[in-house]
């Protein structure tokens, strides 16, 4: 295993806020990129979700540097342009018109540095009828069809408990940036990477979206059960709930394991389509047995028969599970102000080139503007220059 991180020779200028953009930059920073979070002077918490010392901020902004810079001022833009000439990547998630008003759009920065890779995350896209509308994760969940298929049948729309379009858009943007970095090795040129919360959400719908595109079938809510396969879902036990997911070819083995052999010959459940059509009756039959024993009992029995199953955890229970602990997804990092804290690590592992979390080199989220002076010095600004910028509230 080499100690060098994959992106350690890449510098990223981070103009993002909220969640989707910072998630994209976090992905690059975890794999070694030097990520510089550029923040407005005088407002340490105004551009991000939650308190700076809070869990959300610390988890989202680890492994980054922080500098303050007023991009609305001519002097601030001059500083930024000087940094762009030496950088590899710029990431932003402003509404399309805002970056042009600030003069930090792709066309402007490409003139300064033709090798620059510019990543953009928007709510609805860089153009089109909704391009300048504001958007957040829940808006995309609703418009992308997700809320209409989530929840119990007839219960009304339901959002997911995590910011799924934000995080997916961030991962897609980071993936696009890495593709562009690879392509730049051949062409020598940068390019503009674009994605949106709305597209990311529709992409996440996957087979549910394909049901409409190919079959013109509008997917309904299916609650705790699979939209197209029965039995597959969440079932009651004597002490809680268990997820069971027997594939169709496991049907007879599943019945035998639960002591429900009689269902194999029952015409209501004899075929794949019949089981789906009679799902409420099938669930009742299964729960008449599963409620007689505990989750642990059924998990052991089903796993012995190689039938997929698992408990339904709360967050604290999840991080107490021995397999989840074994993966190392919870990572300890040291903050000079907060002491030792835990964040969500990378779920991706490479055998020779570790990410910062795997290599135990993760850094806590930066203090507000902590790296401003040092970064300015790197770009040729003297102590007097820096004092002048500070006096004019440019930094």
Active centre residues (catalytic): 226
Report the distance separating Cα 123 and Cα 22, nearest Å: 14
Report the distance separating Cα 185 and Cα 17, nearest Å: 29
In DSSP terms, which residues pair with 255 in a beta bridge? none
Report the distance separating Cα 386 and Cα 325, nearest Å: 46
Report the distance separating Cα 9 and Cα 175, nearest Å: 17
Which residue from 371, 365, 361, 374 is spatially nearest to 64, judged by alpha carbons?
A: 365
Report the distance separating Cα 379 and Cα 83, nearest Å: 7
Which residue from 234, 237, 210 is spatially nearest to 223, judged by alpha carbons?
A: 234
Using CA atoms, how far residue 391 sits from 151, 174, 368, 386, 388, in Å, is 55, 36, 18, 9, 5
Which residue from 118, 120, 119, 116 is spatially nearest to 188, judged by alpha carbons?
A: 116
Report the distance separating Cα 97 and Cα 133, nearest Å: 10
């Amino acid at each position: 295993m080499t100690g060098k991180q994959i992106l350690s020779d890449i510098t990223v200028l981070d103009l993002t806020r909220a969640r989707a953009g910072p998630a994209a930059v976090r992905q690059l920073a975890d794999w070694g990129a030097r990520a510089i979070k550029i923040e407005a002077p005088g407002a340490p918490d105004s551009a991000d979700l939650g308190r700076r010392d809070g869990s959300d901020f610390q988890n989202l902004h680890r492994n980054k540097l922080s500098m303050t810079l007023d991009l609305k001022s001519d002097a601030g833009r001059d500083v930024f342009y000087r940094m762009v000439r030496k950088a590899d990547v710029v990431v932003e998630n402003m509404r399309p018109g805002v970056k042009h008003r600030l003069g930090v759009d792709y066309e402007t920065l490409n003139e300064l540095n033709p090798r620059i890779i510019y990543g953009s995350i928007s709510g609805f896209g860089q153009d089109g009828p909704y391009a300048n509308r504001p958007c957040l994760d829940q808006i995309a969940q609703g418009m992308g069809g997700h809320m209409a298929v989530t929840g119990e049948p007839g219960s009304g729309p339901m959002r997911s408990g995590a910011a799924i379009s934000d995080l997916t858009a961030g991962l897609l943007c980071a993936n696009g940036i890495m593709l562009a970095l690879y392509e730049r090795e051949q062409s020598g040129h940068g390019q503009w990477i674009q994605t949106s919360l709305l597209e990311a959400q529709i992409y996440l719908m996957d087979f549910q979206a394909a049901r409409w595109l190919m079959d013109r079938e509008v997917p309904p809510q299916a609650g705790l059960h699979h939209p197209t396969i029965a039995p597959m879902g969440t079932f009651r036990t004597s002490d809680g709930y268990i997820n069971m997911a027997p594939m169709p070819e496991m049907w007879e083995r599943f019945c035998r394991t639960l002591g429900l052999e009689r269902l194999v010959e029952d015409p209501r459940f004899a075929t794949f389509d019949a089981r789906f059509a009679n799902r409420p009756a099938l669930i009742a039959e299964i729960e008449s047995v599963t409620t007689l024993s505990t989750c642990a009992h059924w998990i052991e029995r089903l796993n012995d028969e190689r039938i997929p199953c698992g408990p339904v955890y709360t967050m604290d229970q999840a991080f107490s599970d021995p397999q989840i602990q074994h993966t190392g997804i919870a990572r300890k990092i040291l903050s000079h102000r907060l002491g030792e804290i835990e964040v969500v690590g990378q779920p991706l592992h490479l055998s020779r080139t570790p990410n910062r979390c795997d290599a135990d080199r993760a850094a806590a989220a930066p203090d507000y503007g902590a790296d401003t002076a040092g970064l300015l010095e790197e770009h040729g600004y003297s102590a007097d220059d820096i004092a002048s910028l500070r006096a004019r509230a440019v930094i």
